[in-house]
Amino acid sequence: MKDAIQEFLTENPELSEEEKPLYRYSCAEQMILAANKKYNLNLSQQTINAIIPFGGGMGCRRTCGIILGALAVGGVLWGAPKPFDHTKLRAFCAEYTQWFINTFGSLDCPYIMLMHADPDPAIKCRHCIEQSAEKLEQFIEKYNAL
């Protein structure tokens, strides 16, 4: 995941300075796009579009989009067709969420940005995204082995 995430964190050098902000993926999108690439999930553009509102703390600086994107990856991997057959998914969500809180101190976008984000908007939450993607890969390995 750490390698896959780099593609979505890095700005296209061929774009003009005016265009670059228009082609930055949100934190939530970066998580799902990296997992899609790394694990060949073959997610449709429509599915990826469903993640867009979660970026930037659900677009209103609330719950961090990084964790929402990571939990969405869990849903893709371990969501079951039966509504109440989500034992593995629920365990993953609980454990990953606890790791996230322990690591970043909160689930709230403003707190995480205040305490951990870079002031440069091109970099902003890059470190948090990289760290979360790396940890997500470890969790995927663990939960796939169950």
DSSP SS3 for 146: coil
Above 90 in pLDDT, residue 9? Answer: no
User: Other CB atoms closer than 10 Å to residue 51's CB: what's the count?
Assistant: 22
Q: How far apart are CA 97 and CA 109, in angstroms?
A: 14
Q: What is the pLDDT of residue 129?
A: 96
State how many domains the chain has. Answer: 1
What single string gives the DSSP state of each residue in 23-75?
GPPPHHHHHHHHHHHHTT----HHHHHTTGGGHHIIIII-B-HHHHHHHHHHH
Q: 17-63 pLDDT, tens per residue?
A: 888 777 889 999 999 999 999 999 999 999 999 999 999 999 999 99
Of 10 and 31, the structure prediction assigns the larger pLDDT to 31
Q: In the predicted model, what is the mean pLDDT of residues 116-128?
A: 87
User: Other CB atoms closer than 10 Å to residue 138's CB: what's the count?
Assistant: 12
Instruction: Return the bridge partners of 63, or none.
Output: 108
Q: Which domain does 52 fall in, by range?
A: 2-144
Above 80 in pLDDT, residue 140? Answer: yes
Q: Mean pLDDT over all residues of the chain?
A: 93
Q: How far apart are CA 56 and CA 12, in angstroms?
A: 21
DSSP SS3 for 99: helix
Q: How far apart are CA 146 and CA 143, in angstroms?
A: 5
DSSP SS3 for 129: helix
Joined tokens for residue 106? 């909160």
